[in-house]
Amino acid sequence: MNSPLNNASLQARKNAATPRGVGVMCDFYAARAENAELWDVEGRRFIDFAAGIAVCNTGHRHPRIVEAIRAQLDCFTHTAYQIVPYESYVSLAEKISARAPGKFQKKTAFFTTGAEAVENAVKIARAATGRPGVIAFAGGFHGRTLMGMALTGKVAPYKIGFGPFPSDVYHAPFPNALHGVSTEASLRAVEQLFKSDIEPARVAAIIFEPVQGEGGFNPAPLDFVRGLRKICDQHGILLIADEVQTGFARTGKLFAMDHYDVSPDLMTMAKSLAGGMPLSGVVGRAEIMDAAAPGGLGGTYAGNPLAVASAHAVLDIIDDEKLCERAVVLGDKLKAKLETLKSEVPQLADVRGPGAMIAAEFRAPGTTEPDAAFAKLVQTRALERGLLLLVCGVYSNVVRFLFPLTIQDAVFDEALAILEDVLTETVGATV
């Protein structure tokens, strides 16, 4: 008889069988999950405020997603869309194109991962413009592929030891009032690149996240997005919005770009698009999306039918359960709780984010120095209490909150109570 699984033995097996480069945050192993809760192999329960890094906006194992995948399993699991196509891919492309921002004709292509979506957006932009250059921003995260790493504006841990990176990629500072970077300074830095590094006629695209993810949940100011649109229009540059983490109701809109009055030319998506199944996409102006020649886009698993079926269910769930509105309600409740704690937690320097894409940034009291140690201690203590949190930010001093938007009110309130206790206890432990 096999002995029951336990975390210690699994951890030893993991360390022997998998490379250390695949960093793993938790030392326990998942056995099952439901909505906003998961249980490890030893039966311990956790409230999931990570949601697979914003993948499970619709919760773990939503019944409608499970049923959609099961129904597709009864038909077929794989044909390779570019060999034998299927209607579900086409109808999902129609839905995404209709609902993506921009009052112009759009087309959509599907891939597998967020990094793959970003890579293809750059390919499409280069094909459409005939130009090589791409401008990205400090603090941005765009994936772990070579081009993704080149675009990413955070060195540790993503770039260390992996260069050289693709050329013709340039970075400008991203607006961040707390860190002293204004919209004006950021836009001026983009213009400075045209003088010091690359002429605008060689720039294919500018890529940015409407809310930076790994960089610290920093929302792009409206005047900044308008400024980027103006620069792009002036020089024939394409604007790419990377919505891999911000999409599908997380910010209180289906897409974060719906908060702005300008539209991108291309937009990437992944994560919660398929509620836990691997699926990503690029949507954009039809004439731009058609720039690549047949065979230039695709992939063996791109637009996998099981993932596509799940994505159809995700869109229906977001609409039927009003998850955009729910994101705002939950996010406002969390922000209100954190704001009330500022007087008790002097390290809590900022609470920010649209909808349910909320961050708490920590600094050493009375200084402007990032307090990564405090953020890590909050994460560790929360995990000990059964609340799963993620840390982010260029200085690793930000705790981000990515609970499923379907979380039950009682479970959400339980998590907020744990968070309050952890924050106040951590202040006492660091005095």
Place of tokens 């900022």: 350
- Quick one: 54 and 115 in the same domain? no
Q: In the listed set 291, 320, 349, which residue is the last one of a domain according to the structure?
A: 320
Which H or E run includes 242?
strand 238-242
Q: In the listed set 257, 287, 320, which residue is the last one of a domain according to the structure?
A: 320
The Cα 65–Cα 313 span in angstroms is 6
Residues in the chain: 431
Q: In the listed set 320, 352, 382, which residue is the last one of a domain according to the structure?
A: 320
- Is residue 68 in some structural domain? no
Tell me the average pLDDT of the chain.
96
Distance, CA of 398 to chain centre: 15
Work out the pLDDT band at 198, boundaries 50, 70, 90.
very high
User: What mean pLDDT do residues 200-205 have?
Assistant: 98
Q: Compute the C-alpha angle 250/303/203, nearest 5°.
A: 70
- Quick one: 342 and 204 in the same domain? no
- Quick one: 258 and 394 in the same domain? no
User: Quick check: helix, strand or coil at residue 9?
Assistant: helix
Whether the CB-CB separation of 201 and 247 falls below 8 Å is answered with: no
Q: Which residues of 127-152 are buried (b: 16+ CB within 10 A; e: fewer)?
A: bbbebbbbbbbbbbbbbbbebbbbbb
User: What mean pLDDT do residues 393-401 have?
Assistant: 96
The interaxial angle of helices 222-235 and 183-196, nearest 10 deg, is 20
- Quick one: 292 and 328 in the same domain? no
The pLDDT value recorded for residue 2 is 65
The pLDDT value recorded for residue 101 is 97
- Quick one: 148 and 282 in the same domain? yes
- Quick one: 32 and 86 in the same domain? no
- Is residue 163 in some structural domain? yes
Please write the tens of the pLDDT for every residue from 25-76. Answer: 999 999 999 999 999 999 999 999 999 999 999 999 999 999 999 999 999 9
Please write the tens of the pLDDT for every residue from 130-139. Answer: 999 999 999 9
What DSSP string describes 171-220? EEPPPBGGGTB-HHHHHHHHHHHHHHT--GGGEEEEEE-SB-TTTTS-BP
How many structural domains compose the chain? 2
- Is residue 2 in some structural domain? no
- Quick one: 301 and 291 in the same domain? yes
Please write the tens of the pLDDT for every residue from 109-136. Answer: 999 999 999 999 999 999 999 999 999 9
Domain CATH code at residue 405? 3.90.1150.10
Domain CATH code at residue 298? 3.40.640.10
Dihedral of alpha carbons 308, 311, 315, 316, sign: positive
The Cα 400–Cα 49 span in angstroms is 9
What DSSP string describes 33-70? EEBTEEEETT--EEEESSHHHHT-TT-BT-HHHHHHHH
Work out the pLDDT band at 317, boundaries 50, 70, 90.
very high
Work out the pLDDT band at 88, boundaries 50, 70, 90.
very high
> Residues 321, 402, 339, 182: what is their CA dihedral angle, to the nearest 10 degrees?
-110
- Is residue 69 in some structural domain? no
User: What mean pLDDT do residues 347-366 have?
Assistant: 96
The pLDDT value recorded for residue 79 is 98
- Quick one: 131 and 241 in the same domain? yes
Q: Which residues, including other chains, have CB under 8 Å from residue 288's CB and lie 6 or more apart?
A: 124, 125, 128, 238, 265, 266
Count of Cβ atoms closer than 10 Å to residue 13 Cβ: 12
Dihedral of alpha carbons 269, 271, 272, 273, sign: positive
User: What mean pLDDT do residues 250-268 have?
Assistant: 98
Q: Which domain holds residue 167?
A: 76-320
- Is residue 155 in some structural domain? yes
- Is residue 67 in some structural domain? no
- Quick one: 28 and 96 in the same domain? no
- Is residue 247 in some structural domain? yes
User: What mean pLDDT do residues 211-226 have?
Assistant: 97
pLDDT at 1 > cutoff 60: no
The Cα 126–Cα 118 span in angstroms is 12
The Cα 218–Cα 211 span in angstroms is 5
- Quick one: 123 and 150 in the same domain? yes
pTM of the complete model: 0.96
- Quick one: 275 and 348 in the same domain? no
The Cα 277–Cα 317 span in angstroms is 15
User: What mean pLDDT do residues 369-390 have?
Assistant: 97
Whether the CB-CB separation of 423 and 416 falls below 8 Å is answered with: no
pLDDT at 3 > cutoff 80: no
Does residue 157 have a cis bond before it (omega within 30 degrees)? yes
pLDDT at 204 > cutoff 90: yes
User: What mean pLDDT do residues 165-178 have?
Assistant: 96
Two tokens at 207?
Answer: 């890529």
Q: Compute the C-alpha angle 331/59/219, nearest 5°.
A: 35
- Is residue 71 in some structural domain? no
The pLDDT value recorded for residue 156 is 87
- Quick one: 158 and 122 in the same domain? yes
